[in-house]
Structures are given as structure tokens and as C-alpha cells.
């Protein structure tokens, strides 16, 4: 089936660059990173310098000024092919979250201060919203920031923060006026060496072991006014307005990973023999493959349309939510079926399907749970 979203020759040349980078800088090391539960940060400098992420950074700050999301799709597809999902999550964290916020909300002074360091890979960013008592419901944030002269004093705790250990710059959501309701939250940029900024334990997860996830603590951290991001009191609105890009990133990763593992499974079924013939000769196996192939083709058409809508500035929060829940649930379902078709081998961690299965489980949770996505869509329908 011809895809709705056609790649140009430039995209395919970029694919060759991404593929060569992954072969050289990621594939030889990704297993050790998982064992270490931490990716060597040198790879991100190499990735930034190779244009694997940060393409949208304007030229005057060291980037390419390229906003076409199809390039992000190429990266997602190639990362999925080599099953380097821990690496891919950190790349997505930079492109689909941190840089997206900075490019939209930063002042000119802030752009000059931070963007060149992202462009050369010397700075890794993180986004700190989630707290022990506040996940999808951001209004439950208890981290506070109060004025002190021209500065702000930040206190609180965040958890489940991707890249929390290695991050040099963290965008933190805090309550600045408890009586102002949804207009009482503000975003601040906390930098690595600020006194009172402490990192807790590196959390042990069931999947994505190489991608560091941490608890963060803020104890009377003095934030200069120059580190307030966006408008005071509009932090919640800023967070909400940037969720479609984040959720598109989850959808892109989901469809790419599901497709890559399906392709490996189809080939396995052609090669693996049972009862004297290839698995694919069994009608049940053929039906399983036929169903998954159809589901992937239909889902890909939706994602392609979403990417084109994002490029044109017309991707709605509702459509992003539809893609996020459906693609992440489909990814989970397909990888489970692929495990089954592999039989006992699918349970072995040396097989890509087993690792991808564990890495996949978080997809229906972060970026907004499936249940929250359905609530977003349902509220739109009930108007």
C-alpha cells in the first residue's frame, strides 16, 4: 500500500545518514547501556552533531531550522529497526518536549543562552511535571515557587523524570498562586549546578533500562527571573498546548516499533519450521499475520495524516489524543501477539521481540494514559 505521507529524496538521504549513525554509534553499545542502566552521554553529542535530533533549532543558534516532522519519523523508524528504544526515548525527549518548549516560549536572551548547547549536544534537557501525587492530573502539582525580591524560591519533588540523572537543564512546573486555579502555575528552567537542586535515586523500571529515570528534589532553589519560561501564571496552558507534539512523538515511536517487530516476526514465521513445514504454512499463523498487517497499514495512514497535519499547523489536541491511545495500545497488542508466534524464543531476552515487549509497556501510560486520552476525546464529543 502506498503511504499517505510520501518521503522525498531528501528524506531518504537523511535516512541513510541516520542508519549509518546508528550502525556506528548505537548498535555496538546499546546492550551495554541497558546493563549499565545509563546511556553514555557522549552519544548525544555525536547525535546532535550528526543531525539526528535538534534539526528544528534555527540556524543562528547552530541548528538547521528544519521543522518538517517527517525527519522525526525517519529517526523513529530507523531506531525501531535496530531496537534501540532507550536511546530513541531520549532523542524524542529532546525533540518532542524540551526543545519544543524552548523554541516556542524562550525569550531571545534565553535562546542565545541555551539553544547553541542543545545544537552541539553538550546539554541534555528534561521536563519535570509528574509528582508522587500528580500524574495525568497536572492541577495536583504541589511543587511551589514564591517570589523573593527579583528571584523565585522553588521547593518540591518530582518523580518518573526521564533523563533526570543526566539532565543539565530541567523545565519544572510549579504552583505560584494556589488561589488562582488553572492560572496559578508557572514554568521555570532549573540548571544543573543550582544550589538545592538534588537528584534522588535512579529508578529501576521494567523496560527501557538504558534510559535513566529519576526522582528530583528542589530545596529552596533560587531561580533568577531570567529563568522563568513563558508567562507567569500560564504554565498549565503552556503544558496543555505542547501535549499534541508530545503525543505525536509517542504515536510515531509506537507505529515504528510495532512495524519493525512485526516484520521480524513475519520473517521468523517464514523460517521457523513446525510439523515439517514453515510456521507460515499454518492457517492460524497466516491469519494472525494478515490481521496485524492490516491493522498496521490502517494505523499508518492515520499517523501519516497526523504528521502532515502537524506540519501544516492543524493537528488538534483531540486528534493527537486519538493517535496516542490507539497507536500505543496497538503496539502493545501486536508485540504480545508477536511474542506468542515466537513461542519459547519470544520469551528470551536475546530476541528483539522480548526486549521491545518490555520497553513497549510504558507507551500507554506516559504522555497521558489511555484512559485520559479517551476522556479528552469524549469531552470534545460531548460539547
Q: Annotated catalytic sites, by residue? A: 246
104 Cα distance to chain centroid: 18
Q: At what angle are helices 235-271 and 352-360 packed, to 10 degrees?
A: 160
C-alpha grid cell, residue 78: 530507523
List the beta bridge partners of residue 213. 162
Run of H or E residues at 302: helix 283-311
List the beta bridge partners of residue 173. 187
List the beta bridge partners of residue 228. 188
Radius of gyration of the chain (CA): 21
Long-range contacts of 143-148 (CB under 8 A, 24+ apart): 143/172, 143/173, 143/174, 143/175, 143/218, 144/174, 144/175, 144/176, 144/178, 145/174, 145/175, 145/176, 145/186, 145/188, 145/223, 146/176, 148/222
Looking up cell 537543564 gives 169
Amino acid at each position: 500500500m502506498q503511504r499517505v505521507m510520501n518521503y522525498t529524496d531528501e528524506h531518504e538521504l537523511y535516512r541513510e545518514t541516520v542508519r549509518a549513525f546508528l550502525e556506528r554509534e548505537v548498535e555496538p553499545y546499546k546492550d551495554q547501556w541497558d546493563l549499565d542502566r545509563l546511556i553514555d552521554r557522549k552519544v548525544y553529542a555525536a547525535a546532535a552533531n550528526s543531525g539526528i535530533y535538534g534539526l528544528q533549532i534555527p540556524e543562528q543558534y547552530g541548528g538547521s531550522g528544519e521543522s518538517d516532522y517527517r525527519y522525526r519519523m525517519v529517526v523513529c523508524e530507523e531506531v525501531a529497526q535496530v531496537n534501540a528504544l532507550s536511546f530513541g526515548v531520549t532523542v524524542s525527549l529532546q525533540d518532542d518536549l524540551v526543545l519544543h518548549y524552548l523554541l516556542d516560549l524562550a525569550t531571545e536572551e534565553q535562546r542565545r543562552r541555551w539553544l547553541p548547547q542543545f545544537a552541539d549536544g553538550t546539554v541534555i534537557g528534561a521536563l519535570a511535571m509528574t509528582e508522587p501525587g500528580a500524574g495525568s492530573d497536572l492541577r495536583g502539582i504541589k511543587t511551589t515557587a514564591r517570589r523573593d525580591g527579583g528571584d523565585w524560591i522553588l521547593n518540591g519533588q518530582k518523580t518518573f523524570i526521564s533523563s533526570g540523572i543526566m539532565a543539565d537543564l530541567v523545565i519544572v512546573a510549579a504552583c505560584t498562586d494556589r488561589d488562582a486555579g488553572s492560572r496559578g502555575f508557572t514554568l521555570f528552567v532549573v540548571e544543573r549546578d543550582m544550589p538545592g537542586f538534588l537528584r534522588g535515586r535512579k529508578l529501576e523500571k521494567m523496560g527501557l533500562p538504558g534510559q535513566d529515570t529519576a526522582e528530583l528534589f528542589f530545596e529552596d532553589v533560587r531561580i533568577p527571573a531570567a529563568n522563568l519560561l513563558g508567562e507567569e501564571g500560564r504554565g498549565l496552558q503552556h503544558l496543555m498546548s505542547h501535549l499534541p507534539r508530545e503525543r505525536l512523538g509517542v504515536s510515531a515511536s509506537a507505529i515504528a516499533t510495532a512495524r519493525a517487530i512485526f516484520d521480524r516476526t513475519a520473517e521468523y514465521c517464514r523460517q521457523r519450521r513446525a510439523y515439517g513445514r514453515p510456521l507460515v504454512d499454518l492457517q492460524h499463523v497466516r491469519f494472525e499475520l494478515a490481521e496485524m498487517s492490516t491493522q498496521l497499514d490502517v494505523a499508518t495512514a492515520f499517523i501519516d495524516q497526523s504528521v502532515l497535519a502537524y506540519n501544516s499547523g492543524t493537528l488538534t489536541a483531540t486528534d493527537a489524543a486519538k493517535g496516542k491511545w490507539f497507536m500505543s495500545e496497538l503496539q502493545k497488542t501486536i508485540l504480545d501477539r508477536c511474542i506468542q508466534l515466537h513461542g519459547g524464543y519470544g520469551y528470551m531476552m536475546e530476541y528483539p521481540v522480548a526486549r521491545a515487549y518490555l520497553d513497549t509497556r510504558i507507551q500507554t501510560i506516559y504522555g497521558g494514559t489511555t484512559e485520559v486520552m479517551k476522556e479528552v476525546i469524549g469531552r470534545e464529543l460531548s460539547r
